[in-house]
Amino acid sequence: MTTTALQTWLRTRAESDRHAAFEAIVSAWGAAIRRTCRGFERAEARQDELVQEVLMNIWRALPGLVSPESARSWVLRIAHNTALKHVRHHAPRRRMESEVDVESVVHGLQEVVVDRARKRARLHAAIQQLPPADRSLVLLWLEGLDHHELADVSGLSPTNVRTRLSRLRARLTRALGGTP
């Protein structure tokens, strides 16, 4: 459905098709956008603000989209660049913002999902402690991008991506209480 909507938009460039293409993109990668924003921003209000900023940038950049095949990395590139700009823009004004509170995240959940939620909250907290550029790399990897795509989106060399990622994965695994 996403590919069809994007192909139609790329062919016609009609305003109505642009809206359909936009909706198709958000349907397909909305969850990834939401997770990316959650990875960069702690406070829910800021996450929502960032999601909207990312969506506005996607809408503006749509005329420059070349092919439906490259849409996923294109969307994630926009999301990450927007998020990096966003966190650095707000960084000087929120040194005192609290860290992710794992217990408040799992509070009220059923026992069966508590363990999973607790682990996810720990992963989230560990990601939040990374410098923005490392955070971006980890989040892209967590969205399932391979080394080639990671190099393309980040602008780093594939070797550099592999080295950094290995170090970062070990750090995250340790944060979750496992052995790298």
Partner 1 sequence: MTDPLIDLWTDEEEAPLTETIDLSAIAQRAEEFEVVLDRRNRREIWIGGALAVFFSVVAVWSMLDGMAAFGLGGALLATGCAFVARQMHTRGRAPKSDPTQSTRDFLASHRAELQYQIDLLDSVAVWYLAPLAPGLLVFSLGPMALRLLEGRADVGVAVATALPILVVFGLTFGAVLWLNKQAVKGLRAELAALDSGGEDVAGG
Find the part of the chain contacting partner 1 (CB under 8 A) among 2-10, 96-104, 164-172.
Answer: 164-172
Binding test (CB under 8 A) with partner 1, winner from 1, 129, 144, 180 = 144
Binding test (CB under 8 A) with partner 1, winner from 14, 31, 43, 109 = 31
Q: For residue 27, give the H/E element and its range.
A: helix 15-40
Tokens representing 55 are: 């969506």
Asked if residue 125 binds partner 1 (CB under 8 A), the reply is no
Distance CA(156)–CA(140), nearest Å, equals 13
Find the part of the chain contacting partner 1 (CB under 8 A) among 4-12, 85-93, 96-104.
Answer: 85-93
Residue whose CB is less far from partner 1, 3 or 124: 124
Q: How many CB atoms lie within 10 A of CB 68?
A: 20
Distance CA(180)–CA(176), nearest Å, equals 10
Asked if residue 169 binds partner 1 (CB under 8 A), the reply is yes
What are the counts of helices (DSSP H) followed by strands (DSSP E) for the chain?
9, 0
Q: For residue 173, give the H/E element and its range.
A: helix 158-175
Find the part of the chain contacting partner 1 (CB under 8 A) among 2-10, 96-104, 153-161.
Answer: 153-161
Tokens representing 135 are: 């955070």
Residue carrying structure tokens 């550029």:
133
Binding interface with partner 1 (CB under 8 A):
19, 22-23, 26-27, 30-31, 33-35, 51-52, 55-57, 59-61, 64, 74, 77-78, 80-82, 84-85, 88-89, 91-92, 116, 119-120, 123, 131-134, 136, 141-144, 152-157, 160, 164, 169, 172-173, 176
